[in-house]
Chains A and B, each alone.
Chain A
């Protein structure tokens, strides 16, 4: 089975990793700060790794090249952008999900079909609009 990589173990990254682990996927979580792994479940079955995600050689050593899918949830949009592009162009990972705080960065990933960007800003705004002005969820 191809492994799932989660880069950035913040609140979002940790919850994605927990979810994938619960669903029986083989998960590798990467973060530069070991204390962030405290957010993982007690019965988390995946593999937490301490590594600097801005260094592609380290990620390669952790086997990112053979990933089945990757979730990029670092706290830095520029780092996320770079990791998304690298995962797509250099490592040819078929499914890449990226969280961006700045929706303007979407323009830089839209040409690549394997990269699926998610913008919490837009999601929140749309949801709030719907709550206020009605419409379907």
Chain B
């Protein structure tokens, strides 16, 4: 693959190192002489010093026909011009434009760039995920915020806990991609019974996330306090898949409780 890496300092260094490979032909171009020199020494690659948005510089660096063209300059508009130049004049197959202002993602795309990434947007997303401890909802947006992956932990007080997937009337606008239980991935089938501490990975459209979380966190109407007290001894044992009858839900904890008392 021919990859052009335009601009950038530490980001460029990281990307160069991760793509440096016999299979890839790297063209590195940097507008700052100092950075170009530093990258040359740090990554052992040839770095062309020049402005990546300038036709002459790209020509001299031989940036034609790149399979991947990454613009990492500091200013958003510099990356915009660089990507346009790469696409229209240098026949780049795919350009990736990195922007600082998240609002520019939409604007740059409307103006014809194919892939625009905002580091601020990604940063805010990870901060939100890191700080989402109390709500236990983790989210990841894919394909430019058209698909959202939601990660939720099942609590025993939730209505869907201790029920088989086929019985919980899971909303049609989302789907369960996987269940994470005891460090193992379970592929969800209708007969799988959800247990407390299961982590569900679900896929939905961004506009349905709120509804999905609301559905998920709906609490079971009956025996709420009792169940949460008995929850502790629930050994995470692999149960054979059994169709859970709605009646089984309140019955189970009581059984365990009596057994414990008997011991």
Contacts and interface: CB of A to CB of B under 8 A. Distances in A.
A86 interface: yes
Interface size class of A (residues with CB under 8 A): 10 to 19
Contacts of A108: 81, 84-85, 88-89
Contacts of A104: 54-56
A98 to B, nearest CB: 13
A26 B114 CA distance: 38
Contacts, number: 53
Interface in B68-102: 75-78, 80-82, 84-85, 88-89, 101
Interface stretch (B15-23, B103-111, B126-134): B103-111
A78 interface: yes
A102 B101 CA distance: 26
Nearest to A102: B54
Contacts of A78: 53, 75, 77-78, 80-82
A105 interface: yes
Given A56-B103, A90-B107, A82 B77 contact: yes
A81 interface: yes
A83 B251 CA distance: 67
Interface of B: 53-56, 75-78, 80-82, 84-85, 88-89, 101, 103-104, 107, 110-112
Given A81-B77, A89-B110, A55 B101 contact: yes
B54 A81 contact: no
A79 B76 CA distance: 9
A32 to B, nearest CB: 13
Interface residues of B: mostly helix, strand, loop or mixed? helix
Interface string A16-38: 00000000000000000000000
A57 B76 CA distance: 14
Contacts of B56: 104
25 contacts: A54-B75, A54-B101, A56-B104, A57-B103, A76-B75, A76-B77, A77-B53, A78-B75, A78-B77, A78-B78, A78-B81, A78-B82, A81-B80, A81-B81, A81-B84, A82-B80, A82-B81, A82-B111, A86-B107, A89-B110, A90-B107, A102-B54, A104-B55, A104-B56, A107-B89
Contacts of B77: 54, 76, 78-79, 81-82
Chain A CB within 10 Å, residue with most, of B84, B101, B112: B84
A90 B106 CA distance: 11
